[in-house]
Amino acid sequence: MECPECKSTHIKKNGRKKGKQNHICVKCGRQFIDCYQSHQGYAQAVKHECLKMYVNGMGFRSIERVKGVHHTTIMKWVKQVGELLPDFYDAENFSRSRRIR
Ligand SMILES: [Zn+2]
């Protein structure tokens, strides 16, 4: 998890809001909840669909044509997921996940 404001990963828990875990950034003091989504970014659902297409063998440019997400954005996601959640994606396509790492 990182701060949506300054991208710092120095985050502390800060109680709960409407049943969701609230966090505070130690560096800049920004408060945010678990499911925070940047208005500049894509929804998690779109990201997951693109990644699913990727692990099922679609190329970046094919996904770009289908989902309308720029291929460099998808590459960035694949890289993030490859670093953060290798086991989850290993389950679907081991060889491809290994190449990401
Ligand atoms: Zn911050």
Tens digits of residue pLDDT in 32-83: 886 544 445 677 889 989 998 998 899 999 999 999 999 999 999 888 877 6
39 CA → ligand 1 middle, Å: 16
What's the CA-to-centroid distance between 10 and ligand 1, angstroms? 8
Given a cut of 90, whether residue 90 has pLDDT beyond it is no
Looking at residue 85, its pLDDT comes to 55
Q: How far is the CA of 33 from the centre of ligand 1 (A)?
A: 13
> What's the pLDDT score for residue 39?
47
CA–centroid distance, residue 80 to ligand 1 (Å): 20
The pLDDT-based confidence of 91 (bands split at 50, 70, 90) is: very low
Cα(14) to centroid(ligand 1), Å:
14
**Of 51, 65, 61, whose CA–CA distance to 100 is shortest?**
51
